[in-house]
Amino acid sequence: MNYPVVKGTSYILVHAEDMVIHNGTTQSTERTINPDSDYLKKLPNHLRSFDEAVNYMPNQVYIGNMTPEELGEHAQPWYDKPLEDASRYGKYGEIMPEDEFIGLMKIVDAFDLVKLTKEFTEEVKTKLEAHPLIKDRDDLISRLKTGDDLADIEKLINEQGAEAIYTDGKIVGCVKRAHDVDENLNAHVLFENLVCKASGVLAGLNLVAKNDINPEDVDYIIECSEEACGDMNQRGGGNFAKSIAEMVGFKNATGSDTRGFCAAPTHSLIIASSLVQSGTFKNVVVISGGSTAKLGMNGKNHVEKDMPILEDVVGGFAVLISENDGINPVLRTDLVGRHTVGTGSSPQAVMSALVTTPLEKGDLKITDIDKYSVEMQNPDVTKPAGAGDVPNANYKMIGALGVMRKDLERAQMMDFIKEHGMEGWAPTQGHIPSGVPYLGFARADILEGKMKNAMIVGKGSLFLGRMTNLFDGVSIVVEKNPGKTDEEKGVSEEEVRTLVAEAMRDFASHLLQD
C-alpha cells in the first residue's frame, strides 16, 4: 500500500516576556482577583531575557539544535544549566524575540487592528528586513506602515477597550476591538488570535525554508491550535488555516481548522494522511500557532520556588504530509490507535487503546516500536507545579503494559524506558507537547537509518469545554519507507517481476506438455 509520507517539519518559539505579565491567563486572573498580590510584585524579577530563553536547553531541543538524547545526558533541573552562545536559529526553526514578533503581528493583521508607535515601527521594520525568511518578502515587509502616535494609541487603550502591547516594559502599540458589543471580537480575544496566526505563519515560513518546499505545491492546510476564531454568530467557526496560508504563500491551498484540545495535532496528522492516501490532495500541511493564555500558567509555583518563569514562550509547528515518494518515512494509516467513547478513562484503558490495540493490528510487540512520543511536557515546568515528570509516567505505563503482555520482563522496565522513551522538552502550550514535537527527530533518524519506527501519541482532556467528561486520544505509527508501490497494480515492482517470472514458467511448462 502507498502510505503518505512525512516530507518536512518545522518548530518555532517566540520569547514573550511582557506577554507573560499582561496576557497570560494566570496573571490576568490574579490582577482581577488580587491586584496587590505578592506574586504579581515578584513576577518581573523572575522573567528571563531573550538570551536566557535561547540558551535554555529544552528550547534548543525544540528547534533542533540538540537531540532529546543529548538533553537526557544532563541532570534535571535544566534551568540552572544554561548553554553558552546558543543560536536562535535551529535545524527545524527558530526562537524569535518579542519585538520582532510584535512586528509580525502587525504584518499578519488584515483589518488594521494592530496599532504600533512610529518609533517602534521604524525599529522593528529594520530588524525584520534583516530576518532571513522575511527580508525578501516585500509583500510582508510593506505591510509595516509608518506607525501611529503614542497618544492616539493610549486613547484607544483607555477609552475604547484596546489591549495594550508591551515590550521592555513599555507600551509600543495596541490591538483594537473589532466590535462594540461582540465579546468574541473584543481586543483580548483578537490579541490571542493574532498571536496564534502570527506564530502559525512563522512556523509555515520555516517549514518552507527548512525543507526546500515550493509553497505553490501545497493543496490543503489543517490548523490545529487551541484558539477559536469567530464572532457572536459562530464562536470558533474558523478559519485560521486559510488566513495563515495566505501570509505564508500557500496560494493554491484551501483549508480548515481541527480542534481537539491537546490531541488535535495527532488527529490532524491522521486526517491529513487520509486525505493524501485517498488521492484527494497531494500535499497537506498540518500547522499550528501558539497561545498567550498559557504563558506563565504555572508561574506561581515557579516564583514560590525561586525559579525563573519557564513558560515564557509561545510555540508553533508545521508538518508537510505528501504522497509516497519512496524515501521519506511513511505514516501507517492502518496502525491508528483511538480512545473511543466506550474505552474508559483509567490510565491502563487509555494507554491500551492508544498503544497496544494498534500494535496488535500489525502483529507487533511493544518493544518493536523504537520510540514513543507521548505528552513530551518539559519536567522543569511540571515537577515544581506538582504534576511530576509526565513523559516518564507515560513510559512507565507503556512498560507496564509490555510486562502484562509478556513483551518484556519486569526487571527490564527501566531499560525499556531509557531505550524507548526520552526526556520531555516541549513548552506547556497545551496542544504543542502531545506527540508532535518528536516528529522532526523521528523523520531524521529514520532517514539516517538510526531507527526504524516511532509512535506519535496525542492525548487530551475534553472536560475543559464543559460538554463532556470524556478523555481523548489518538496515535499513529511512523516508519521507514519500504519503497513506492505501483497503485494501479496494487503491488510493488519486485512483486510484478516475480509474478511475470512465474507466469513465464507456467507458460513454458504448458508448451512442453503440449
- What is the tens place of the pLDDT at every residue in 52-81? 999 999 999 999 999 999 999 999 999 999
Q: Which three cell numbers stand for residue 128?
A: 525584520
CB-CB contact of 354 with 475 (8 Å): yes
Q: What is the pLDDT of residue 506?
A: 65
Rounded to whole angstroms, the Cα distance separating 103 from 426 reads 25
Write the DSSP assignment of 289-318 as a string of letters. ---STTTTTTHHHHHHTT------EEEEEE
Q: Which residues of the chain, if any, have pLDDT below 50?
A: 488-489
CB-CB contact of 421 with 369 (8 Å): no
Domain borders along the chain are 5-479
Which residues are CB-contacts of 162 (< 8 A; sequence separation ≥ 6)?
115, 153, 156, 174, 175, 176, 177, 187
**How much is the pTM?**
0.94
Q: Given the DSSP bridges, would you call strands 313-322 and 330-338 parallel, antiparallel or unpaired?
A: unpaired
What does R_g of the chain's alpha carbons equal in angstroms?
A: 24
Q: Given the DSSP bridges, would you call strands 220-223 and 283-288 parallel, antiparallel or unpaired?
A: parallel
Q: What is the pLDDT of residue 484?
A: 78
The CATH classification number of 5-479 equals: 3.40.47
**Crossing angle for the helix pair 98-108 and 240-248, to the nearest 10 degrees:** 100
Which residues are CB-contacts of 193 (< 8 A; sequence separation ≥ 6)?
227, 229, 240
Q: What is the pLDDT of residue 16?
A: 98
Q: What is the pLDDT of residue 512?
A: 52
Strand extents, DSSP E, 49-182: 93-96, 114-116, 163-167, 170-175
Residue 47 is classified by DSSP as P
Q: What is the pLDDT of residue 166?
A: 98
Q: Which three cell numbers stand for residue 23?
A: 496576557
Which residues are CB-contacts of 423 (< 8 A; sequence separation ≥ 6)?
68, 71, 72, 76, 379, 391
